[in-house]
A and B are shown apart, each in its own frame.
Chain A
Amino acid sequence: MSESIAILDTPPDLERPPLVSNHRSLSWITDKISTICEGRTPIWWWISFLLMASLACAGLSCIAYQIMNGVGVWGENHPNGWAWDITNFVFWIGIGHAGTLISAILFLTRQKWRTSINRAAEAMTLFAVMCAAIFPGIHVGRVWMAWFLAPVPNPYGIWPNFRSPLLWDVFAVSTYFTVSVLFWYTGLVPDLATMRDRAKSRAARYLYGIFALGWRGSNRNWRHYEMAYLLLAGLSTPLVLSVHSVVSFDFATSILPGWHTTIFPPYFVAGAIFGGFAMVLTILLPASLIYPQLKDMITRNHVDKMAKIILLTGTIVGYAYLMELFVAYYSGNKYEGFTFFSARLGINNPGWYRWAYYCMMTCNVISPQIFWFKWARNNWIVVFIVCQFVNAGMWFERFVIIVTSLAQDFLPSSWGHYHPSWVEQVTFAGTFGIFLSLFLLFMRFLPMIAMSEIKIVTPQADPHAYVPDSGVGISAHGPVETATHPGQTRAH
C-alpha cells in the first residue's frame, strides 16, 4: 500500500487548497452554521432590519400612492413609455441569475466550491425575482387589470396574444420563480432536519420539524433525493438561460434602433450573471465579516473564483457593447448609427443621456479589469468596491438601453426628455429595502450555508478515506489524525 502511495502521491505544489480550511469536523460545521440562527438576535440585526424594513415601507407607500393616482405620478411620458420601471425590472431579474448559475450550472459542471455559497445565492435569487415582479405588475397602471397577463380569456372572450414577447415574459418569470422555490426548498429539507434535531424550544422543533417533512437521512431517501437534485439542476440550467433571453426579446423583437438586435439574448444572459455575482459578493462579504466563524467555509479561494467569473462575464459584456457599435457602423443603417454614435456616444449631437452610457462603460467594462491581478482578487475591500461599480453599471446598462432608444428615436419632432419623479426614486430605493429585509430574515431563521452539501466536500465524507485495519483514519467526530495527506486519500 505504501508503494502505491509513493507513486500516486501528488506533488505538493499541485495540491488544491481544501474547500473547508483547517480540517474541520462535521459537528464543527453544523455548530458554526446553526448557531447563527439559534443564538439571541444581535443588536446590529435589529438596527439593520428596522432600517431596511422602513425603507421597504416607504417604497410600498409609493406603490400605494401610484396605484391610487395612476402612472401619471411617474416621470414617464411620450415617447418614454418605459423608463425606470422596466430598468428596475430587468436589473432585479438579472441579479437573480447568479443564484441559479451557482446552484444549477456549477452543480452540473461539478464545481464543488459552490456548496458554501449556493444556499445564500439561491435565497438572493428568490428575493430579487420578487422585487423584479413588482415593476411590471404596477406599471400596467390599473393593477386590478393585471390578470389580463394570465393566459385566460377576458370578459369579452379575447385571449392574450401568445405571439407577444410580453406574454412569454410572464411565462418565463413565473416559471423561473416557481422552479427556483422548488429547488431551494428541496436543498433545504436536510438542513431543516438538522435545525429540528438541534432545536431547544418546542416551538422551534415543531416549526422546523413541519418543514423538514420528517427527513431522517435514510439512504433509501438520499438515493432519490440526489436524482431529484440532479434533475432540478438540469431543468434550471436551460431555464435560467431562457429567462433573460426572453426578457431581451421584449426589446429585440421590436423595431426600435438600439433594441432591434440579435446579439441581445447572449449579451443579456452574460450581463445578468455579471451583475448577479456582484450582488452575491455585496451580500456575502459583509456577512462573512459579521460571522467570522464562516471564514473556514467562505474562503479567499471562493472570492477569488467569483472575481474571476465577474472578470469573464464583464469582458463578454464589453465585447457585446463593442460589437453593437461595430454593427451600427457596419450595417450602414442611419437610425441605428444615430442611436449608438449620436444619442449614446454623443458625437455631433447633444446626446442627452451620454453620461449614462459612459458610466455604464466605465463601471462594467473597465472596473472589473483590475481582477486580472491576484492581489486585487484577494483584497476584499477592492473586490467589494468593484462589485458596487458593477451593481451601478448594470443598472445604467438597462437605463441606457431603454431610455436613450426611446427619448431620441426616428423623428426629432417626437423626441422627449425623461426625468424620474420622486415616486419612482423612492419606489426603487424601497425594493432594496424589501430585498435586504428578506435577506436579513433568511439569515436569522435559516441556515445560510447548505450544511448537508458542504459536508460532502470534506475529506471525512469520502468513504474510501477510512483505513479499517490500522485503526487510523478520518473520523467523523474530530480533527484528522494521521491520514491527513490528501495524496494518501486518493491513493486507495
Chain B
Amino acid sequence: MAEYRKVYGMGAEFNSAGELMRAAEKVRDAGFKVWDVHTPFPVHGMDKAMGLGKSWLSAPVLFGGTAGLLTAVALTCIPSFSIYPLIVHGKPYSAATIPAFFPIFFELTVLFSAFTTVFTLLIMSRLPQWYHPVFNWERFSRVSTDGFFLVIEARDPKFSENNTRSLLEGIGGAHVTLIHD
C-alpha cells in the first residue's frame, strides 16, 4: 500500500487540440473535479470544455490600481500642500494645482496595477513551482512543443486506477500512464 500512496494521478496523451478538447468535455461530464489539461499554447474554448469560468485575476488589479492612485495622491499632495510647499515662479498651491499632478497619478496607477497583475498571476497559478509530479512522466517534456496531455489526479474522489484508465483509453487517449509523486 505504501507504493500506492505515491501515485499522483493518471495521464493520457492526445493528438491535437481538438481531440484534447473533446476528451476534456467527456472527463468534465464524467464528474471529475481534480484534473487538468496541458498544452503548448492556450486553447480557445478549453475553459468551457473543462467547466471553468472566467478568470477573476482582474479583481485584485482593481485594488492594486486604486492603491497606486492613492499613493500618488499622497506622494504629491502631502509634500506640496503641507510639508514643504515649493513655490516656483510665484505660483501658489490651490485646487487648481491638482491637474499638474495628473501625469504622476496616472503613472503610479499603471505601475501598481502591472505589479499586481504579475504577482496575482503567480499566486493564482501557484508559481513558481519548480518540482511537480507531472515532470516525472517522460513523455510530458513535449508539452511545451507539441504535446497535448490530460492528467486526472488521484485526489479526485472518482479516481480509481482501473476505471480511470479505461475512461482515458475510451476517449482516445494514447500512452495512458500512471504518474508517481
Contact = CB atoms under 8 A, between A and B. Distances in A.
Given A214-B127, A217-B143, A474-B16, A223 B107 contact: no
A100 interface: no
B151 to A, nearest CB: 9
A218 B54 CA distance: 16
A50 interface: no
B30 interface: no
A319 interface: no
Given A162-B76, A171-B108, A476-B16, A231 B39 contact: no
Contacts of B37: 218-219
A222 B42 contact: yes
Interface in B140-157: 140-146, 148
A175 B117 CA distance: 14
Interface residues of B, number: 73
A26 B40 contact: yes
A481 to B, nearest CB: 12
A172 B52 CA distance: 38
A214 B131 contact: yes
A197 B146 CA distance: 12
Contacts of B100: 162-163
Interface in B58-117: 58, 61, 75-76, 79-80, 83-84, 86, 88, 91, 97, 100-101, 103-104, 106-108, 110-111, 113-115, 117
Contacts of B83: 153, 157, 159
B43 A219 contact: yes
A198 interface: yes
A186 B116 CA distance: 13
Interface residues of A, number: 77
A215 B38 CA distance: 10
A452 B84 contact: no
B132 A214 contact: yes
B101 A162 contact: yes
Given A151-B75, A197-B145, A214 B128 contact: yes
Interface stretch (A59-67, A423-431, A453-461): A453-461
B18 A473 contact: yes
A209 B124 CA distance: 20
B129 interface: yes
A168 B100 CA distance: 9
B117 A232 contact: yes
B120 interface: yes
Interface string A2-28: 000000000000000000000001110
A220 B36 contact: yes
Interface stretch (A134-142, A235-243, A309-317, A333-341): A235-243
A172 B129 contact: no
A5 B91 CA distance: 71
Interface string B124-140: 11011111101100001
Contacts of B135: 216
Contact of B41 (A153, A182, A238, A452): A452
A227 to B, nearest CB: 4
B167 interface: no
A216 B38 contact: yes
B45 interface: yes
Given A171-B103, A214-B128, A476-B16, A219 B47 contact: yes
Contacts of B42: 219, 222-223, 225-226, 452, 456
A221 B39 CA distance: 11
Given A162-B79, A232-B117, A452-B41, A464 B88 contact: no
Given A26-B146, A214-B132, A462 B38 contact: no
Contacts of B103: 165, 168, 171-172, 242, 246, 249
B40 A455 contact: yes
A231 B113 contact: yes
A463 B46 CA distance: 9
Contacts of B79: 153, 159, 162
Contacts of B91: 163
Contacts of A231: 57-58, 61, 113, 117
Nearest to B125: A221
Nearest to B101: A162
A474 B148 CA distance: 14
Nearest to B89: A163
B145 A30 contact: yes
A291 to B, nearest CB: 19
Contacts of B46: 219, 222, 463
Nearest to B37: A219
Given A468-B22, A476-B148, A227 B44 contact: no
22 contacts: A30-B146, A163-B97, A163-B101, A171-B103, A175-B107, A178-B111, A182-B114, A209-B130, A217-B38, A219-B42, A219-B50, A219-B52, A231-B57, A231-B113, A232-B117, A238-B110, A239-B107, A246-B103, A463-B21, A465-B18, A476-B16, A477-B146
Given A26-B40, A219-B52, A462-B44, 6 more contacts: A193-B144, A216-B38, A217-B39, A223-B42, A452-B41, A455-B41
Interface of A: 25-27, 30, 151, 153, 157-165, 167-168, 171-172, 175, 178-179, 182-183, 185-186, 190, 193-194, 196-198, 209-210, 213-228, 231-232, 235-236, 238-239, 242, 246, 249, 451-453, 455-456, 460-466, 468, 473-477
The 3 closest A-B pairs by CB, nearest first: A466-B18, A213-B128, A26-B146
